Structure 1
Amino acid sequence: MAIVAGEFLCPNCAARLRIHQSGQKQTEIDCPECAAHLLVEMTADNRISVIPRPEFDGTVPVASLHRFPISVAIVLMLITCTALFFLVDFDSNEQKSSEENPEIANQNPSVADPELTSNAVGPVAPAVPEKISFEDRLQKLGIRINEYRLNTGQFLVAGWKPNHEPGKPTGLSWLAGLDPELEAGSKYSPNWNVDWHSPVNDRFVRRSRSDLQNPELKTVVGSDRYPATHIVGISGVGDDAAELPKDDPRAGIFGWNRVTRTEDVKDGLSNTWLASGITERFSSWANASQSIRPVTSEPYINGPDGFGMGSSERMPILMADGSVRAMNDKTAPTIFRRLAAMADGLPLDSKIAGEPGKTESTQADLLTNKPIMPEVVPSEQTTSSPPIPPETVSPEVQQAMLEKLNQKVLSFELNQPTALNEVLVELEALAGVTIDFDEQQIAQSDPVRTHLVILSGKGLSISEMLDQILTPQNLILTPANGRLLIRRAKNE
């Protein structure tokens, strides 16, 4: 079935737009930011093409010329000839005077003097190339990553050769897979089944990739003597992050033995750190083993991990939704760690305790050095007391989730029936809140997960949009442990 789906930037105002429409290869929409009329279509290689459509064709009818009477035309010709006669006569007298009086000629330089004429042709300064900022380069990389994710449903693998020693991959990197040169008809044809520095790949990997370099840094060659990258992917929190399974709360998007799908990013695409700039330990952009890094030691800007962009105060980072977020040295270290983990379930509020992969009780035990006590067998009196609900949510977490759900969306158009679980992935990414089905009530095979829904509206909050698709199915949202669970209403 023909489909138009993906994210793109409005060519008129650069607003980030998202579209998902089935049944045809192209469609026309109005940008909700600038009201520009756009033609959106999918190309033969499944890329989104956006063409502005003018409201009118730009042609202006030319008014017909009125004919002048012949007598008027003759008078105008006589006036023109008389004026030319006086000009020629004046010029000849001027030239004669200059020949007779050279001093006068020096006082009246020729009009053609290049130093005095406004349109003189002199040495032309070379054109200054437009300087593309590092933030813009991250943004363009994010667009290519999003195109891949929307077409495949997953992020790129960190390395293209899975049969490697643990922690020491030798294949081509995820950055190599995003090379703009790898288009149809490209002269570069790397072999993805051999080592990245294999002789057959030498022509491919010896090229400099300015799209992966920070213009503020002077080092453009890595320690391996290959053209370097100034961008790496984030593998998670801790030295072993790249080796963790993808459901580990410390795992990031990139790892050696995992493939990350969109639905695996439980914290939301806009709340997950995907890639960052580095200022040290440079290597080839094609080397998979050096293309990802974990978050291990503070400070995280120009610290031991090597993240940064040359400034001690700020650092742009690329998020999993393709956006670029500005971080600075005032950002709490716990926020960096929570962003690096894709499914820790913790809010981006440093006032709320918690670390990826650790519970509050574990941290408290470590801080107070409290000994582990033997388990006490409860008495009959204690067992009669009502148990504490296992999914109690603090007021701070509830407030943070409520603020995210109350975010307004300028426009959301989904006119073709789409499976409920697919729509929830999109809304989860917009809200930055993890949304799951309650497995005890709604099993994986439950048909309600794939029930076809339609959603459209302008100026609606994410909460209102969720109500539109959940209420008709008699489903409700319930806060639980820093996420939202979809459950059946009690009256069903």
Structure 2
Amino acid sequence: MIAVAISIAAALTALLAVTIRDAREEGVRRACEMNLKQIGLAIGEYHVVHDRFPLAAAPSTALAPGERLSWQFAITPSLFCYHCYGMEDYRHDRLSASWRDAPQRDLAAAAIATLLCPDAPYRPSRGALLALSRPDPSRTSPVPATYIGIAGLGKDAPSLKKGDPRCGIFGYDRVTTSGDIADGASATMMVAETSTLAAPWTSGGEATVRGLDPSRVPYLGAGRQFGGNHPGKTQVLFADGSVRTIRDAIDPKVFEALSTIAGGEVLPGGWER
């Protein structure tokens, strides 16, 4: 009888552990989903004000894309109040400056919770998860980007000229509006999460925007171009503002079709399942 009781207790303990793990994973996924929805709202507000989506990197003829300020920097006025955090120096009339220049350099070390997947490899301070960790002059380590803008199909997608069928929403010097999305906003990806962290969230290069590199399929999962934060699943923000959970095992051709704004691809029925 004692052996039976011990076996039952062990089984119940194992079941409880699995339940707790699943509940935690679902909670983290929901938090990531809310982050992406807020990012979508901020991008939408930017489009209303500027009549276009933010560029992948701030305009500059003197700086390489990776030295320019990112689209994430461009939408920060919609994510938090600069004045509320005593950050009046981070004005957007400095978009032509490098992210390495002061005071933008200090902002690169600030952890903005909305721009961080809570299950990404990078772990911000506890206070940063609540809202914003103010730039600390003594801290020099930049905070990496965990959400990446989709530039289209091909590693060179951010540099493609407007009208190329491989174009996605984000381009370095390519202006994109909602009217350019011929494939439909509900079938066009805008931002995806990643566990492959690079340069800071304020940098306008590959750290914050990527084209799908067909030589590196599958696209989703740990160590891949996108995903890897949630087991078997990746959170993606679409151009209509919706956030969907995509299986890492999705057909690469379908994922490629979702990356373009006017590729004319026909999606197979039930691709979301």
TM normalised by structure 1 equals 0.42
The reply on whether 1:195 has 2:195 as its aligned counterpart is no
Q: 2:191 aligns with which of 271, 275, 293?
A: 275
- The whole-number CA distance in structure 2 between the counterparts of 1:147 and 1:211 is 16
Computed over aligned residues only, the root mean square deviation of the Cα atoms, in angstroms, reads 2.5
- The whole-number CA distance in structure 1 between the counterparts of 2:103 and 2:183 is 41
**Could you say which residue in structure 1 is the equivalent of 2:57?**
159
**Could you say which residue in structure 1 is the equivalent of 2:240?**
321
Q: 1:288 aligns with which of 180, 184, 204?
A: 204
**Is the Cα contact below 8 Å between 2:41 and 2:241 reproduced in 1?**
yes
User: Gapped runs of 5+ residues in structure 1?
Assistant: 1-129, 352-492
**Is the Cα contact below 8 Å between 2:168 and 2:260 reproduced in 1?**
yes
Aligned to 2:268, the other structure's residue is in SS state coil
**Is the Cα contact below 8 Å between 2:58 and 2:68 reproduced in 1?**
yes
When Rg is computed on C-alpha atoms for both structures, the one with the higher figure is: 1
- The whole-number CA distance in structure 2 between the counterparts of 1:330 and 1:260 is 30
**Could you say which residue in structure 1 is the equivalent of 2:42?**
144
Q: Counterpart amino acid of 1:325?
A: R
Q: Deviations over 1:87-110 (max 9, x none)?
A: xxxxxxxxxxxxxxxxxxxxxxxx
Question: What is the aligned-residue identity percentage?
Answer: 26
- The whole-number CA distance in structure 1 between the counterparts of 2:39 and 2:228 is 16
**Could you say which residue in structure 2 is the equivalent of 1:171?**
68
- The whole-number CA distance in structure 2 between the counterparts of 1:255 and 1:202 is 23
**Is the Cα contact below 8 Å between 2:195 and 2:223 reproduced in 1?**
no
Measured after TM superposition, the shift of residue 331 of structure 1 is 2.2
User: Which structure is higher in helix share?
Assistant: 2
Measured after TM superposition, the shift of residue 183 of structure 1 is 5.2
Residues 189 and 322 (structure 1), Cα distance of their counterparts in 2 relative to 1, 3 Å cut: farther
Measured after TM superposition, the shift of residue 317 of structure 1 is 0.3
**Is the Cα contact below 8 Å between 1:142 and 1:322 reproduced in 2?**
yes
Q: Deviations over 1:395-433 (max 9, x none)?
A: xxxxxxxxxxxxxxxxxxxxxxxxxxxxxxxxxxxxxxx
- The whole-number CA distance in structure 2 between the counterparts of 1:305 and 1:195 is 28
- The whole-number CA distance in structure 2 between the counterparts of 1:203 and 1:225 is 9
**Could you say which residue in structure 2 is the equivalent of 1:135?**
33
Structure with larger RCO (C-alpha < 8 A, sep 6+): 2
**Could you say which residue in structure 1 is the equivalent of 2:250?**
331
The reply on whether 1:344 has 2:263 as its aligned counterpart is yes
- The whole-number CA distance in structure 2 between the counterparts of 1:220 and 1:282 is 14
**Could you say which residue in structure 2 is the equivalent of 1:354?**
none
**Could you say which residue in structure 2 is the equivalent of 1:216?**
119
Aligned to 1:266, the other structure's residue is in SS state coil
Q: Deviations over 1:218-253 (max 9, x none)?
A: 4247xx930122101011111111111121111111
Residues 329 and 192 (structure 1), Cα distance of their counterparts in 2 relative to 1, 3 Å cut: closer
**Is the Cα contact below 8 Å between 1:338 and 1:344 reproduced in 2?**
yes
- The whole-number CA distance in structure 2 between the counterparts of 1:151 and 1:199 is 27
- The whole-number CA distance in structure 1 between the counterparts of 2:238 and 2:174 is 19
User: Which structure is higher in strand share?
Assistant: 1
